Amino acid sequence: MTTKREKLVLVGNGMAGIGTLEQILKLGGAYDITVFGSEPHPNYNRIMLSYVLEGSKTLEDIVLNDWSWYKDNRITLYTGTTVTRIDAASRQVIADNGIAVPYDKVILATGSRSFILPIPGSDKNGVIGFRDIADCEAMLEAAGQYRKAAVIGGGLLGLEAAKGLVNLGMDVTVVHLMEDLMERQLDRNASAMLQAELERQGIKFAMGKQTVELVGDERVQGLRFSDGSELAADFVVMAVGIKPNVALAQASGITVNRGIVVNDYMETSMADVFSVGECTEHRGVCYGLVAPLFEQGAVLAKHLCGAATLPYEGSVVSTKLKISGVDVFSAGEFIETPEHVVIAAKDEWKKTYKKVLLRNNAIVGAVLYGDITESASLQKLVKQGAEMTEEIYAEVMGAGCCGGGTKKSASVEAMADEEIVCGCNGVTKKAIVDAVTENGFTTVDEIKACTGATRSCGGCKPVVEQILQYVLGDGFRESAKQGICGCTPLSRDEIVAEIKAKGLRSGKEVMNVLGWRQEEGCSKCRPALNYYLGMLYPDTHEEESESRFVNERMNANIQKDGTFTVVPRMYGGVTTPEDLKKIADVSLKYNVKVVKVTGGQRLDLIGVKREDLPKVWEELDMPSGYAYAKSLRTVKTCVGSQFCRFGTQDSMSMGALLERKYERLDMPAKFKMAVNGCPRNCAEACTKDIGIVGNDGGWEIFIGGNGGIKARLADSFCKVKTDEELVEICSAVIQYYRETGKYLERTSEWVERMGLAHIQDVILNDEDNRKQLAARIDFALAQVTEPWQAMLKNEKARNALFETVKP
> What is the per-residue pLDDT for 109?
97
> What is the per-residue pLDDT for 481?
53
Higher pLDDT, 409 or 389: 389
Name the CATH topology of 630-807: Sulfite Reductase Hemoprotein; domain 1 (3.30.413)
> What is the per-residue pLDDT for 454?
79
Is residue 46 predicted with pLDDT exceeding 90?
no
**CATH 3.50.50.60 applies to domain 116-240:** yes
Could you tell me whether strands 148-152 and 273-275 are parallel, antiparallel, or unpaired per DSSP bridges? unpaired
Yes or no: say if 8 and 35 are a contact pair by the CB < 8 Å rule: no
% of the chain exceeding 70 in pLDDT: 91
Rounded distance between C-alpha atoms, residue 754 and residue 737, angstroms: 10
Is residue 404 predicted with pLDDT exceeding 50?
no
Q: What is the mean pLDDT of residues 669-684?
A: 93
Confidence category of residue 521, pLDDT binned at 50, 70, 90: confident
Is residue 801 predicted with pLDDT exceeding 70?
no
> What is the per-residue pLDDT for 56?
67
> What is the per-residue pLDDT for 107?
98
Phi-psi region of 779 (alpha: psi -120 to 50; beta: other; left: phi over 0): alpha
Tell me the per-residue pLDDT of 718-763, one tens digit each, with 9 for 90 and over.
999 999 999 999 999 999 999 999 998 999 999 999 999 999 999 9
Yes or no: say if 213 and 222 are a contact pair by the CB < 8 Å rule: no
Give ∠ CA 113-118-122 in degrees, rounded to 5: 85
Yes or no: say if 321 and 156 are a contact pair by the CB < 8 Å rule: yes
Rounded distance between C-alpha atoms, residue 23 and residue 307, angstroms: 12
In Å, what is the CA distance from 309 to each residue of 30, 261, 270, 296, 298? 18, 20, 22, 11, 9
Tell me the per-residue pLDDT of 477-518, one tens digit each, with 9 for 90 and over.
444 456 788 788 888 999 999 999 999 999 999 999 998 887
> What is the per-residue pLDDT for 294?
86
| Gyration radius from the chain CA atoms | 29
CATH 3.50.50.60 residue spans of the chain: 6-112+244-305, 116-240
CA-based nearest residue to 441, from 409, 489, 408: 489
Is residue 406 predicted with pLDDT exceeding 70?
no
Name the CATH topology of 366-479: Arc Repressor Mutant, subunit A (1.10.10)
> What is the per-residue pLDDT for 239?
92
Q: What is the mean pLDDT of residues 27-39?
A: 94
Higher pLDDT, 774 or 288: 774
Tell me the per-residue pLDDT of 568-609, one tens digit each, with 9 for 90 and over.
999 999 999 999 999 999 999 999 999 999 888 999 999 998
Confidence category of residue 436, pLDDT binned at 50, 70, 90: confident
Q: What is the mean pLDDT of residues 782-790?
A: 55
Tell me the per-residue pLDDT of 192-241, one tens digit each, with 9 for 90 and over.
999 998 998 889 999 999 999 999 999 999 999 999 999 999 999 999 98
CATH 1.10.10.1100 residue spans of the chain: 366-479
> What is the per-residue pLDDT for 774?
95
Tell me the per-residue pLDDT of 91-104, one tens digit each, with 9 for 90 and over.
999 999 999 999 99
Confidence category of residue 383, pLDDT binned at 50, 70, 90: confident
Q: Measured in whole angstroms, how far is the alpha carbon of residue 318 from the centre of its chain?
A: 23
> What is the per-residue pLDDT for 262?
97
Yes or no: say if 456 and 48 are a contact pair by the CB < 8 Å rule: yes
CATH 3.30.413.10 residue spans of the chain: 630-807
Confidence category of residue 325, pLDDT binned at 50, 70, 90: low
Yes or no: say if 296 and 312 are a contact pair by the CB < 8 Å rule: yes
Average pLDDT, the chain: 87
Q: Which CATH superfamily is domain 6-112+244-305 in?
A: FAD/NAD(P)-binding domain (3.50.50.60)
Higher pLDDT, 130 or 404: 130
Yes or no: say if 423 and 460 are a contact pair by the CB < 8 Å rule: yes
> What is the per-residue pLDDT for 302?
94
Rounded distance between C-alpha atoms, residue 166 and residue 164, angstroms: 5
